[in-house]
Amino acid sequence: MQAVLPETAAELADLIDAATERLAVVGLSRETDHEMLDVLNRWETSRRKADSVSARLLIEASDRNLDQLAGYLTVPQLLATGLRLGRAEAARRRTVAHEIGRYRNLQGELLPPRLPLCAQAVAEGAIDARHVDAIVHIMAQIPAAVGQTDRDRAEQILTDAARNVAPDDLPMLGNRILAHLDPDGHLTDGADRRRQRGFTLRPQDRRLMSKVRALLTPELRAKLEVILTVWAAPGMNNPADPDSPHGAADRPDLDPADLEAAAGRDDRLPAQRNHDALLAMCDYLLGHGALGRPGRIPAQLVITTTEAELAARAGTAVTATGSRVPVADLVDLAADATPWLEVFADHSAAILYLGRGRRLATLAQRLALFGRDRGCTMPGCRRPFAQTEAHHLPAWQHGGPTDVDHLGAACGPHNRREGHSPGQWESTILADGPDAGRVAWRPAGRDAPWRVNPLHHPELLIRPALLPDPPPLRRRRDHGSVVERLLSCDVRIHRPPIVVDFHRRE
In this predicted structure, what is the pLDDT of residue 145? 83
* pLDDT over threshold 90, residue 97: yes
Question: In whole angstroms, what is the distance from residue 143 CA to residue 133 CA?
Answer: 18
In this predicted structure, what is the pLDDT of residue 134? 92
**Sequence-separated (6 or more) residues with CB below 8 Å from residue 189:** 143, 144, 145
Q: What is the 3-state secondary structure (H, E, C) of 18-31?
A: HHHHHHHHCCCCCC
In this predicted structure, what is the pLDDT of residue 217? 85
Higher local confidence (pLDDT), 209 or 495: 209
Identify the weakest region by mean pLDDT among 72-86, 227-241, 254-268, 468-482.
Answer: 468-482
* pLDDT over threshold 50, residue 496: no
Angle formed at CA 385 by CA 380 and CA 386, multiple of 5 degrees? 130
In this predicted structure, what is the pLDDT of residue 445? 77
Question: In whole angstroms, what is the distance from residue 324 CA to residue 315 CA?
Answer: 10
In this predicted structure, what is the pLDDT of residue 479? 47
* pLDDT over threshold 70, residue 291: no
Give the chain's radius of gyration (CA, Å): 29
When the pLDDT of each residue in the chain is averaged and rounded to a whole number, the result is 79
Question: In whole angstroms, what is the distance from residue 121 CA to residue 494 CA?
Answer: 63
Question: In whole angstroms, what is the distance from residue 111 CA to residue 179 CA?
Answer: 32
Identify the weakest region by mean pLDDT among 181-190, 312-321, 331-340, 490-499.
Answer: 490-499
DSSP for 143-176 reads -TTS-HHHHHHHHHHHHHHHTTS-GGGHHHHHHH
Instruction: Give the residues across from 198 on adjacent strands.
Output: 215
Mean pLDDT of 74-81: 87
- The SS3 assignment for 501 reads strand
pLDDT in tens, 423-443: 788 888 888 887 888 889 988
pLDDT in tens, 182-211: 776 666 777 777 888 888 888 888 788 888
| pLDDT cut 90: percent of the chain above it | 22
- The SS3 assignment for 382 reads coil
* Residue among 383, 439, 441, 438 nearest 412 (CA): 383
- How much of the chain is helix, strand and coil, in % rounded to 5? 45, 10, 40
Higher local confidence (pLDDT), 310 or 478: 310
* pLDDT over threshold 60, residue 248: yes
In this predicted structure, what is the pLDDT of residue 469? 55
pLDDT in tens, 361-405: 777 778 778 878 888 998 888 888 888 888 888 777 777 787 777
Question: In whole angstroms, what is the distance from residue 85 CA to residue 88 CA?
Answer: 8
Q: What pTM did the predictor assign?
A: 0.59
Mean pLDDT of 455-479: 56
Q: 433: alpha, beta or left, given left = phi > 0 and alpha = psi -120 to 50?
A: left
Asked if 330 and 317 touch (Cβ cutoff 8 Å), the reply is yes
Question: In whole angstroms, what is the distance from residue 81 CA to residue 485 CA?
Answer: 43
Mean pLDDT of 166-192: 81
